[in-house]
Chain A
Amino acid sequence: MAAVTTSTERSLNKLAIVGVLIITMIFLAPIYWIASTAFKPRNLATTIPPTVMFQPEISPFVKLFTKRSQLRTAPTPEQYAAAPWWERLVFDGGEKVVRSGRGEVQWSGYPSRFMNSLIVAITSTILAVGMGTFTAYGFSRFKIKGEQDLLFFILSTRMLPPVVVAIPMFLMYRVVGLNDTHWGLIILYTAFNLSFSVWLMKGFMDEIPKEYEEAALVDGYTRMEAFFKIVLPEAATGIAATAVFCFITAWNEYAFALIMTNRRAQTAPPFIPSQVGSGLSDWTVIAAGTFLFLLPVAIFTFLLRNHLLRGMSFGAIRK
């Protein structure tokens, strides 16, 4: 190819490089803006022209985790000196940390929502990937009558609009007391991710040569032993990739969480927006909450980069 590269071809390529760089910058700008706003002092978050250069602070994160109230009178120098460094940051912003009668710092709603997100996402991922791996093996290795129809049925459950499923689930949960509980959300997310996990894992299972297990069966393994000792280790990468996808889906989900939870089991996606518009919104705190929430997904995206195509196409396109 190199020999036939003409000079127009080369300049076109240069143009493409410039284009890609500009587009990448535009696409990353909103994410950059979230990250930078999370480290800004409050008065620089909403300036015109926008503040790009600033001394980064961690006060938004302190405020994110603590319950605060407006300072009516400035703290006395003794109070200020006695306060730990992070509390001084809150004083500097014209607020004070709310303490209980015994002087314990009160947490904001964020840490518990973040924990709820972790509990629900991790548990539902384990369940969906666990069941999905077995089922995918079944579909991959055994003859099943009406296999295509069953697979279509499994996929179609993934396509249901959340609000459509949420109406009857809400009514049923109300009867059995699962509204606003971790298990209520875990069940919904497991069901939602299960079909995805079956489809993706089936692709990975299909790629493991049958001969591996057949050799093991000849060697005196039972089918179960062959599955656990031969197939599962071979499928480890696929299982990990599927798990990360399921985790991200559950972590990001909004509609079910909005409808099914309101306090005890509320996850971060419905909680973070509910903080906007309550009085004067402090965008640095919202950015800090958003930043912490997006961070795991951003890291996972890099770990998953070679499996993204496969995951996003339900295992249909493998490259």
Chain B
Amino acid sequence: MATAVMTTLDPNSRSAARGMSDLTIRNLFIIPTIVFLIVFNIFPLIYSLGYSFTDFRASSPAAANFVGLQNYRELLNDPFIWSNFAITAKYVIVSVVGQVIVGFGVALLLNRDIPLKGLLTTLLLLPMMLSMAVVGLFWKLLYDPSFGIINYTLGLGSFEWLSNPDMALYAVAITDIWMWSPFVMLLSLAGLSAVPKHLYEAAAIDRAGSFYTFFRITLPLVAPILMIAIIFRTMEAFKTFDLAYILTSQPTTEVISIRLYKMAFQEWQTGRSCALAYIVLIMILAITNIYVKYLNKVKER
């Protein structure tokens, strides 16, 4: 890496005669950040890769024994881990689809001639800026079967949300939809406002129906930005921890991050949890890769 950074600049540039050369400045500006990230992100990951091949338990003084691929083999054959992944997948689908429908829908409404549009947009964006853990906690009160305002407003009597194993995951997803639809809305609005007005005028002259206009003009032009929102939210929903952990303790809401947390910090199966962390990491990196490709694609436009 160091050699990669050391090239292409002329150390004898004009300004180099006075003060530091551009080359020195560039290295001075960039290398500390790269080093910092390597030391505090990459090095720990290498460290845990090592532990993932051991039976190490952080709670016991016993030394770690090398067990080869046993942790990985056992994890991939463990039906409970697969059910954690299945729960996570269900959660990702419900919450991301919900966010896209609500977020894109509100963006379509807001893309019209709305008075106080700026103020309303900012107010709508508020939920996503707040702390998931702290606001999520308060949803416990909102969902309360006997005195929560959700049941009261919807006339659901004493419907159980969080303590009902079948409902809890949806309740968490609803809270997540509340928090993150604004994000999809924000990006969709940017996409919608970038659609050239003359396309709509041309469609109106051709007497195109609103259905046709939406699917042939609006959607294709907004799609790339919407896609960014979808991939980003998928990645975040896949990693979700705070909301589900705080709102419920149902086994039906045990998403993979919660399983990982419990394995590492409650059961103290440190070696095995490092292996699981690597399995999750590889999945996340794959999604990140797709995300960055899309980001660059949209940037070029």
- Tell whether A pairs with B: yes
Q: A residues bordering B, Cβ < 8 Å?
A: 1, 4, 12-13, 16-17, 19-21, 23-24, 27-31, 33-34, 37, 46-50, 131-132, 134-135, 137-139, 141-146, 148, 150, 152-157, 159-172, 174, 187-188, 190-191, 194-195, 198, 217, 220-227, 248, 251-252, 254-255, 259, 268-270, 272-273, 276, 283, 286-287, 290, 293-294, 297-298, 300-302, 305, 308-309, 312-314, 316-317, 319
- Select one of B30, B131, B138, B242 contacting A135, CB under 8 A: B30
Contact of A138 with B29 in the complex, beta carbons under 8 Å: yes
26 contacts between A and B (CB under 8 A): A31-B135, A33-B149, A46-B144, A131-B33, A134-B33, A148-B296, A154-B34, A157-B41, A160-B45, A164-B281, A167-B273, A169-B44, A170-B58, A171-B51, A191-B40, A252-B133, A252-B134, A259-B261, A269-B131, A270-B133, A283-B141, A286-B141, A297-B129, A301-B122, A314-B295, A319-B190
**Known contacts A33-B141, A252-B131, A301-B129, then 19 further A-B pairs from the complex at CB < 8 Å, ordered by chain A residue:** A19-B109, A23-B124, A37-B141, A138-B30, A144-B30, A153-B34, A156-B292, A160-B41, A160-B281, A164-B48, A164-B284, A167-B48, A168-B45, A273-B137, A286-B137, A293-B131, A301-B122, A305-B122, A317-B187
B31-76: which residues lie under 8 A (CB-CB) from chain A? 32-34, 36-37, 40-42, 44-45, 47-48, 51, 58
Contact of B135 with A142 in the complex, beta carbons under 8 Å: no
CB closest chain-A residue, reference B261? A163
Contact of B225 with A255 in the complex, beta carbons under 8 Å: no
CB closest chain-A residue, reference B102? A23
The 4 closest A-B pairs by CB, nearest first: A222-B19, A254-B133, A168-B44, A252-B131
Contact of B178 with A248 in the complex, beta carbons under 8 Å: no
Tell me the complex Cα distance, A160–B41, Å.
9
Also in contact, A163 and B264, with CB within 8 A (given A142-B22, A273-B246):
yes
- Chain A residues within an 8 Å CB radius of B86: none
- Select one of A12, A13, A139, A222 contacting B20, CB under 8 A: A222
Also in contact, A222 and B15, with CB within 8 A (given A48-B152, A135-B30):
yes
Nearest CB in chain A: distance from B249 CB, A: 10
The reply to whether the CB of B127 lies closer than 8 angstroms to some CB of chain A is yes
- Select one of A163, A223, A313 contacting B257, CB under 8 A: A163
- Select one of A16, A168, A312 contacting B48, CB under 8 A: A168
Q: Is the interface of A mostly helix, strand, loop or mixed?
A: helix
Tell me the complex Cα distance, A293–B42, Å.
32
Contact of A224 with B274 in the complex, beta carbons under 8 Å: no
Nearest CB in chain A: distance from B233 CB, A: 11
Also in contact, A27 and B225, with CB within 8 A (given A143-B9, A145-B5, A223-B19):
no
The reply to whether the CB of B142 lies closer than 8 angstroms to some CB of chain A is yes
Tell me the complex Cα distance, A220–B130, Å.
47
Q: B residues bordering A, Cβ < 8 Å?
A: 4-5, 7-9, 14-15, 18-20, 22, 25-26, 28-30, 32-34, 36-37, 40-42, 44-45, 47-48, 51, 58, 106, 109-110, 112-115, 118, 120-135, 137-142, 144, 146-147, 149, 152, 178, 182-183, 186-187, 189-190, 193-194, 197, 201, 204, 225, 228, 235, 239, 241-242, 246, 257, 260-261, 264-265, 270, 273-274, 277, 280-281, 284-285, 287-288, 291-292, 295-296, 298-299
Contact of B246 with A24 in the complex, beta carbons under 8 Å: no
Also in contact, A268 and B37, with CB within 8 A (given A156-B285, A224-B19, A276-B140):
no
- Select one of B30, B109, B114 contacting A139, CB under 8 A: B30
Nearest CB in chain A: distance from B45 CB, A: 7
- Chain B residues within an 8 Å CB radius of A13: 112-113
Contact of B130 with A156 in the complex, beta carbons under 8 Å: no
Also in contact, A30 and B47, with CB within 8 A (given A161-B239, A252-B130, A313-B228):
no
Also in contact, A171 and B58, with CB within 8 A (given A164-B260, A194-B36):
yes
Contact of A300 with B260 in the complex, beta carbons under 8 Å: no
